[in-house]
Structure 1
């Protein structure tokens, strides 16, 4: 039905209701007046005109009545009451009296019939939805603003496959209340019982203020039921504008990591990024590209995207070009191992800040290719750091890893040596050089999560190296924020570390992913394959001699390692290409641990 036809139909219905209300009330209470055409006629015409005027004033013809609520009832009552008051005034002028009893009955009958004509649309819609056997019976966890919003969205959506039948909420004051016809029938401890009793086929967690450990607890209760569980966005996502408040989505493993997200000191960061030229190495990688996205929010003058992979640099270039306005984006294909090329680019753009994210990070692959690890992670860092120093860059921030602490792998050892180089550069340069360590990054290239997901899609098994293998985890945005914040608060020479909460067992992560897929360990078994070369059971973020107990920033700690004679270190690294794999691995691990004959030499600072 078209818009004009709909209004015409409503006006016709209302006109009939006005006539019926006036005639019936006079016939019922004032039969003598009912026989007086003047009284009935003037009353009918007056009420007819008054009703349509106030109906337009209160937009009774423009409301979507299938979603009618208490607000619509109040509008009907107000419009009808004003119409009756107008009629009373006309009667007083015309007949020097007001037929109050008849007007009272007319008023009540008018409201009753108008309300019934409108709410019948809502009743028809709700009855139709309840009788739709294709809709999934849905439990909403949280009966606050978030839960109410979700319930209204589901009730008002004719296309949704979900229908809300119950709330659960831990607030005892809401117990047994009814919200939009849906009862609050228990708390989160009752989830499994409610699912059985109400034949629940779908669950929505609708508490956007939940911190991750609380969400993990609730999701664990939902997972026991084996019912598909979704979640409404977090407060952070809603406030940032990344998603709308009604964007229901699947629970992700990132949601279940029990740590509050890192919050930025936006003012301090803006002071050192806004209007500046920023260069990011490894800009096409997981961390580098996210650093670029985060930096762009602070309106720098330019962002230089430096990377070796043309496809990844092209991708982030295209993305930033569409979301940034007034920021110069310059993609540059270059290898950090090419010293001359790096010097040329840094001299050309004269960046104020360099974020050095380019590195080889895959532990088993670097065990097999130690020469490439040294060339990229050590020599590449040396090239970028020295070029930054020569160009007078204000701050140089190197992305490091927890595997650099007491390293057992070539990758970890080369990153530790790169930290030594950065700390030495801070001692001899006007540029502030710092390193930032964090644990495993969810969703990054080489992350265990994509591997586990592929294994689940293939029907299993999920392969885990050891049942006691634990790691620190964080999300890509969190890691990138730490990198940016470190540059803003750096004084020079520090190694910054995020308070990453408790380490997570890899096997528990695998179990969470299985549950998130709606499966059980019977469906997807977990197979232990044994530790790979270079791996450690447990990771550390700072060694004992690096720890500074004070927290220099919310959730950020500072460590500082002993200084080294990097001239000796440079000499050793330059000879590395003459060594075979085994010799080179032993060399970099000895250097990283200050072992053997290098201990005295490395501890001497010129």
Structure 2
């Protein structure tokens, strides 16, 4: 039926309900005088007019009955009361007679006649209008609150969703064995494994968007012991702002396993050194560099310089930034940090006041096979940018470093350690505040272990792990970058800031979790094989050298390693020696690295300790 005619039918039906309820109330109340037909017709007409007025004001004739809920019931109750009370009051005033039972019968009858067809249609739609395809997945919903019921309701009503809710899990003992939307609350979180097995659950949906990351991590750890695939509902506001609840569900990710709560950021201090400043980000097209751009932009720098060697990656982040921050002055610079003349011209033209140096070669095995390139980019590239920052009066220089720089066993880690040493030595004689920020692996960065595992799982395995005992520290990219920017606000000069990476994660356990989160059983559906440690790798990473010690900052996730006491002249001499051996045999290059960083153990794949 067309909307126009449907509205007319609904309005006529509602008016008929008001009048019919009055007639029924009149017949049920013997104490009402039977005379005065005109007066009683006026009574009924007034009830109809008042009822129509409230129905129209509340737009009840434009509401879809399939979604009738509590708010509709309250509106209908209001209509019923007003359409009964107003004529009653008018009769009382004009005739001097009160018939309260007539009023009550009228109100009750109106409410019943208005709500009955709406509820009947709602029940019909819920029970019979949706036909689920045979063989659909069976889902267990964790959280019988507003979000969980929203998910269940949409699954039950949406024929495009091939998942059938079976029941709920909730920690509230009051809800246990109770029904929500006709589905039973089957137990608390500790009964998940039993419920999954006994009810043949294919999919678990965590519908608790308001709980902490720690609680989500606990739930994920309980769920991953089952064979059911895991999904999670994101932030509820984001879900509401976009599309339906079921459509906004996502697969549970490794980030959920880390269980770290959102970082507390001191916005005032960050704005103090970034706002209205010319900010340069080198390596702006990379994983860390691009995220630095995204998180610096909201602090309104006077200009943001995106410097990178690869034109495609710089173009990509430029288009993204211009879309997200159309009024922010952005300059894109295609340059190689190894080209001193080009870097000098960039600083001379733009005079950046804050520099985040993220440009680097980072892949350990590749740099083992190409040590000269690691030195050129990580050491001499850093040297070029840092010396230009000093020469052109930059206020702060923040080097993005790595835990692989501590007691390094790889060329990459050693070059990053030399970069740290160089900026610390430069800081002793410069007005620029030079600092380094050191952290471990970031989840999802290019070439990192998580994307590789996911690709292998999609292909059906096997998932390759280098060593069963290898452990690493992990952070999300936004998490790491947020702390990098925060650490920059604490800079006094010469510090190495160490980010709290949480507990180290065993890579084998990570592979097992990813397989289970994808809905498979490790070593049954997807095999895990060990490929052996690659050159330059060690079993576990460290965050501090023996000389650095550790002290706290104002932020509970950022710590300071004590600045090293370095002789600038000796360091410059050693770096010049390094430059001369770049074209020589890799063993000669490694020997110079060993001399400059005595803790560097050139032995290929070794265990740290």
Tell me the TM-score normalised to structure 2 length: 0.91
Q: CA deviation at 1:151?
A: 4.4
Equivalent residue, structure 1, for 2:445: 444
Which deviates further from its counterpart, 135-144 or 516-525?
A: 135-144
The CA distance in 1 between the partners of 2:11 and 2:514, in whole Å, is 57
Query: Is 2:123 aligned against 1:118?
Result: no
The CA distance in 2 between the partners of 1:551 and 1:245, in whole Å, is 43
Maintained 8 Å contact 1:441/1:475: yes
> Residue 545 of structure 1: SS of its match in structure 2?
coil
Cα distance, 1:6–1:476 mapped onto 2, change above 3 Å: same
Q: What's the CA shift string for 1:241-262, capped at 9, x where partnerless?
A: 9999983221111221133343
Q: CA deviation at 1:50?
A: 2.0
Q: CA deviation at 1:285?
A: 0.5
Equivalent residue, structure 2, for 1:141: 142
Maintained 8 Å contact 2:407/2:599: no
Which deviates further from its counterpart, 407-416 or 44-53?
A: 44-53
Q: What's the CA shift string for 1:496-539, capped at 9, x where partnerless?
A: 11111111011111111111211111111110011111100010
Maintained 8 Å contact 1:237/1:243: no
Which deviates further from its counterpart, 17-26 or 413-422?
A: 17-26
The CA distance in 2 between the partners of 1:141 and 1:586, in whole Å, is 58
Maintained 8 Å contact 1:30/1:102: no
Q: CA deviation at 1:160?
A: 4.2
Maintained 8 Å contact 1:150/1:246: no
The CA distance in 1 between the partners of 2:383 and 2:27, in whole Å, is 100
Q: CA deviation at 1:264?
A: 1.9
Maintained 8 Å contact 2:221/2:257: no
Matched ranges for 1:99-178 at <5 A: 99-128=99-128, 132-133=132-133, 136-151=137-152, 154=155, 159-178=160-179
The CA distance in 2 between the partners of 1:236 and 1:35, in whole Å, is 60
Equivalent residue, structure 2, for 1:188: 189
Cα distance, 1:277–1:430 mapped onto 2, change above 3 Å: same
Matched ranges for 1:521-560 at <5 A: 521=522, 522-560=524-562
Q: CA deviation at 1:218?
A: 1.5
> Residue 520 of structure 1: SS of its match in structure 2?
coil
The CA distance in 1 between the partners of 2:238 and 2:595, in whole Å, is 45
Q: CA deviation at 1:427?
A: 0.8
> Residue 365 of structure 2: SS of its match in structure 1?
helix
Maintained 8 Å contact 2:130/2:157: no
Query: Is 2:68 aligned against 1:68?
Result: yes
Q: CA deviation at 1:88?
A: 1.3
Q: CA deviation at 1:112?
A: 1.0
Uncovered stretches (5+) of structure 2, i.e. residues with no partner: 602-609
The CA distance in 1 between the partners of 2:240 and 2:281, in whole Å, is 28
Q: CA deviation at 1:303?
A: 0.8
Equivalent residue, structure 2, for 1:269: 270
Cα distance, 1:264–1:239 mapped onto 2, change above 3 Å: farther
Matched ranges for 1:348-427 at <5 A: 348-427=349-428
Q: What's the CA shift string for 1:10-50, capped at 9, x where partnerless?
A: 11111222332233333344499668743553343222222
Equivalent residue, structure 2, for 1:487: 488
Which deviates further from its counterpart, 504-513 or 132-141?
A: 132-141
Uncovered stretches (5+) of structure 1, i.e. residues with no partner: 597-606
Tell me the TM-score normalised to structure 1 length: 0.91
The CA distance in 1 between the partners of 2:559 and 2:73, in whole Å, is 58
The CA distance in 2 between the partners of 1:546 and 1:552, in whole Å, is 19
Q: What's the CA shift string for 1:558-591, capped at 9, x where partnerless?
A: 1135322322222322222243111112321332
Q: CA deviation at 1:180?
A: 4.8
Which deviates further from its counterpart, 180-189 or 145-154?
A: 145-154
Q: CA deviation at 1:209?
A: 3.9
Maintained 8 Å contact 2:132/2:162: no
Maintained 8 Å contact 2:76/2:115: yes
Maintained 8 Å contact 2:133/2:162: no
Which deviates further from its counterpart, 542-551 or 339-348?
A: 542-551
Structure 1 vs Structure 2 CA RMSD: 2.8
> Residue 539 of structure 1: SS of its match in structure 2?
coil
Maintained 8 Å contact 2:414/2:600: no
Q: What's the CA shift string for 1:295-322, capped at 9, x where partnerless?
A: 0111111111111111001100111011
Maintained 8 Å contact 1:233/1:243: no
Query: Is 2:263 aligned against 1:258?
Result: no
The CA distance in 1 between the partners of 2:483 and 2:124, in whole Å, is 54
Cα distance, 1:241–1:257 mapped onto 2, change above 3 Å: farther
Cα distance, 1:413–1:301 mapped onto 2, change above 3 Å: same
Equivalent residue, structure 1, for 2:300: 299
The CA distance in 2 between the partners of 1:297 and 1:339, in whole Å, is 31
Q: CA deviation at 1:211?
A: 3.9
Maintained 8 Å contact 1:27/1:34: no
Cα distance, 1:220–1:548 mapped onto 2, change above 3 Å: closer
The CA distance in 2 between the partners of 1:558 and 1:238, in whole Å, is 39
- Between the two proteins, the alignment pairs up a number of residues equal to 596
